[in-house]
Structure 1
Amino acid sequence: MLKAVLFDFNGVIINDESIHQDLINELLLGENLRPDVSEYQELCLGRSDRACLKDILSRRGRVVSDEYLDQLIETKTKYYRQEIDNLRSLPIYPELNDFLILIKQRNLKIGLVTGSLVSEVEFILNKAELISYFDVIVGGDEITSSKPEPDGYLLAVDRLNQIDHTLQLKPENCLVIEDTPIGITAAKKAGMQVVGIANTYPYHFMQRISDWAIDYFSDLELERVEKVLA
């Protein structure tokens, strides 16, 4: 039975991918490297900043220490917050608030699993007044392996069980909402059902790689999902 809904963050909660791409590009220019759109899509979409930067720099023949990566990520986080603060309104996806209310009304747990830093996520969710909906948040700085590995989703299950010992949550009780192939792969590796939302990739592509595909949160019929899982 369905017990929890787990969200990705960038591209699912907030439409900020262009901001992240611009900031990664700025970091690369600072390293005297030319940004490449296809490289960003391959190595960064759906992955943590650490995995993204490490793989891009490695591909370009740069071997950097963890400490150096920490500095790059710290710089990016600083400028990300500045970019967000300069926006007139947060680019939160439409219908999200109503969808979160609907999930809570069905007494389902809500989690968030992302490659972004926990502090970055909490900054946005507090600013959007959404943080109270989320029972657990797993960030990219809390796990050693980035998506498409399932570690983040499995950690979310463990944490939800720690919060409520009567929940007895298993991966098959979870529904994941993702927007990238890497994220969908991670959720499937964890043994979870996956909804592909067509925010980053087209609907027909999401249909091919996920269990359900939607254009908007209102398209997702939780009753139908519950019946399938039951």
Structure 2
Amino acid sequence: MDESEKQEEKEQTPDPTFVIESPYGPVSVDMKAYADAKMAANKLMPKQPRTNMFDSKMFTFLNAPKTQRDSRYWKGQLGALMKMHLDQYLTPEFTVSEEFSIEDGIIRPCMYDTIPLQGKQRARIMVIGTRFYESKADPQLRFILISSVDGDGDHRITIHVPVGHEMKNERYDFNNFINQLEDDFYENGPLNEAFFDLKYNFIQRDANIDALLAWDPKVKEMLWKDIITFQKAMPKLQKLGLANSRGVILAG
């Protein structure tokens, strides 16, 4: 590089220094030196630990430094019905002490929706949000439930329980809570004695249905085994890539 090129490069490079006039005479300020000094000073400052708002609230409520997490999802209408049944399943022994949703570090109200049931019935469910539950009989028995929706529209339920605490009573075992919830859903949930399609949308029941079909006890038992009970296995079969649909033809 010759002298002219060096001079041209020097002219194109911005000068970080400038001079100001003061009562004490001209003062030269070097902004690069100032920036370097500021960066060096910041490195010497102790770093403040970053706190997660949800974690802080969770550990305080559960009174525990660690939690055990369990989560499961269900597709479409089945997931919405599962969230509806969750409220009924917990109501006898648990109460909600707080519910909220956190978005961009800001606490907001939970998101609710109304879903159709058999006939003209409707039910309101929490679609997205967090609930702090505590036992009515023993307030120290606590857990946290998160209701969410995955990117593909599946409804998800996640629970957090404190590690090192006894999380079991006569009705609930929180080491196996979601399995218990599913079992109770198929035994006592909204699908019982209801008419619905393969996507769990309820169908209007014909008023003459009892007169048209002879509900023999063996037929009812077969339908329950081959249709209702089989539904519990459908999500697992789908994940394994196996056939996960079944139908029954009644003729006579």
Which category of TM-score, normalised to the shorter sequence, fits these structures?
under 0.3
Q: Which has the larger radius of gyration?
A: 2
Structure number with greater CO (CA < 8 Å, separation at least 6) is 1
Q: Hey, which of these two has a bigger chunk of strand by percent?
A: 2
Higher helix share: 1
